[in-house]
Amino acid sequence: MSEPGVASGRAGGDDSPARSSSSPDRVVSALADADDRVVEGALRPKRLSEVIGQNRVREQLSLVLEGALRRGRAPDHVLLSGPPGLGKTTLAMIISAELGAPLRITSGPAIERAGDLAAILSTLSEGEVVFIDEIHRLARPAEEMLYLAMEDFRVDVVIGKGPGATAIPLDIAPFTLVGATTRAGLLPAALRDRFGFTAHLDFYEPEELGIIVRRSAGLLGVALPEDGADEIAGRSRGTPRIANRLLRRVRDFAEVRGDGVVTRDCARAALELYEVDESGLDRLDLAVLGALVRRFGGGPVGLSTLAVAVGEEAETVEVVAEPFLVRAGLMARTPRGRVATPAAWQHLGLPVPRQAAWAGRAGRVVEWAGQEDSGGDGEATLFG
């Protein structure tokens, strides 16, 4: 799993959309590699008050936790959704720390049978926090067991097989489930509805990332002047995990080629070497954008066709590349497929084709520049 050059995401359970063999050299991949996991432990904020950005989520969550603490009861179950690297695992750990409750960590893919889940739930002590990462990958029988556990703090343990099998109800201690998912849309409504509090994490602003890298530099003992921090923050794809990784790569560069101080020039030179462009787009992002524009004339094109064109799994394109491309205003999702925006051509240094060539085909835009998928109301066209 930690072998360099081998996709570690799939087995790790932590942010694990399928990855192709080309992924590991992506210095800006939002997915955690083995190296990240070691360092991330040290860089994770431990309390809610240390969390940078996500102001609304932080405030809402602090009310949920504070309320529960005052009542002396386990808070509602919490669902955290959003692209990889934005702080879902961090928040799960913080929830347990703020409640002063123990934390059990598992993931959807790790729970293969309902029995695996029963083993966890039946041994909980009161108030414990159970974190299920990638909860959209939970197998069906485990998911059904979870419904009952979340609602009634009960599991049905099935004894025997076939027609003679009986279900024995077993009470479990009140607990708080924290679920994390990169694909909230895949969760069955029945499961989604059982979470009393849902937080969607969004990409961070460069100023927030600047604060995050400066904090990390402090913890890692890296000399990082403000302009160096800004340079890294601006190329981090709105993602703290990437900001922290770029910091480590730039530090290497500064130590080997310079005097160890991460100045703006040093950060620029290092990031150029690692092929991170000025907006933080990496090879996969550029491949997706390039295919969309050059091969499909700007779309609309279906996700799977686009994924095949760049030699990646559809899930990787959808979870890793698309959210940021949409947020950056380079790509939009329409009912008929993915389309490039005029900014995509500009970004690739190509002349923008005349509107008529493609806007007519694009149809209605349902998601545009970071706007949530509205399911179609709020009609907009590409040129407004």
Ligand X SMILES: Nc1ncnc2c1ncn2[C@@H]1O[C@H](COP(=O)(O)OP(=O)(O)O)[C@@H](O)[C@H]1O
* Residue 244, binding choice from Mg ion, ligand X, none, Cβ under 5 to 8 Å by partner class: ligand X
For residue 261, what are the contacts with CB-CB under 8 A and spacing of at least 6? 223, 224, 225, 228, 254
Query: Cα(195)–Cα(187) distance, rounded to whole angstroms?
Result: 11
Q: Which stretch binds ligand X (CB under 6 A): 4-12, 21-29, 40-48, 109-117?
A: 40-48
* Residue 53, binding choice from Mg ion, ligand X, none, Cβ under 5 to 8 Å by partner class: ligand X
Edge-first strand order for the sheet with 197-200 is 103-107, 129-133, 176-181, 78-81, 197-200
| Residue 127 near residue 176, CB atoms below 8 Å | yes
Taking Cα atoms as reference points, which of 338, 263, 238 lies closest to residue 293? Answer: 338
Query: Cα(176)–Cα(67) distance, rounded to whole angstroms?
Result: 14
Q: Which of residues 2-21 bind ligand X (CB under 6 A)?
A: 15
Query: Cα(126)–Cα(123) distance, rounded to whole angstroms?
Result: 10
| Active-site amino acid positions | 88-89, 133, 182, 241
Q: Which of 12, 87, 299, 323 binds ligand X (CB under 6 A)?
A: 87
CB of 252 to ligand X, least distance (A): 18
Phi–psi pair at 222, nearest 5 degrees: -100, 135
Q: Which of 244, 263, 316, 341 binds ligand X (CB under 6 A)?
A: 244
Q: Which of 52, 79, 138, 267 binds ligand X (CB under 6 A)?
A: 52
Q: List contacts with Mg ion (CB under 5 A).
A: 14, 88-89
Q: Which stretch binds ligand X (CB under 6 A): 5-13, 101-109, 236-244, 324-332?
A: 236-244
CB of 288 to ligand X, least distance (A): 20
- Interaction between residue 295 and ligand X (CB under 6 A): no
CB of 171 to ligand X, least distance (A): 31
- Interaction between residue 289 and ligand X (CB under 6 A): no
* Residue 241, binding choice from Mg ion, ligand X, none, Cβ under 5 to 8 Å by partner class: ligand X
CB of 285 to Mg ion, least distance (A): 21
* Residue 108, binding choice from ligand X, Mg ion, none, Cβ under 5 to 8 Å by partner class: none
For residue 48, what are the contacts with CB-CB under 8 A and spacing of at least 6? 58, 61, 62, 65, 94, 98
Task: Supply angle C-alpha 207, 183, 87, rounded to 5.
Answer: 35
Residue with tokens 């149809």: 363
Decide the pairing of beta strands 176-181 and 78-81.
Answer: parallel
- Interaction between residue 240 and ligand X (CB under 6 A): yes
Binding site for ligand X (CB under 6 A): 15, 40, 43-45, 51-54, 84-90, 212, 240-241, 244
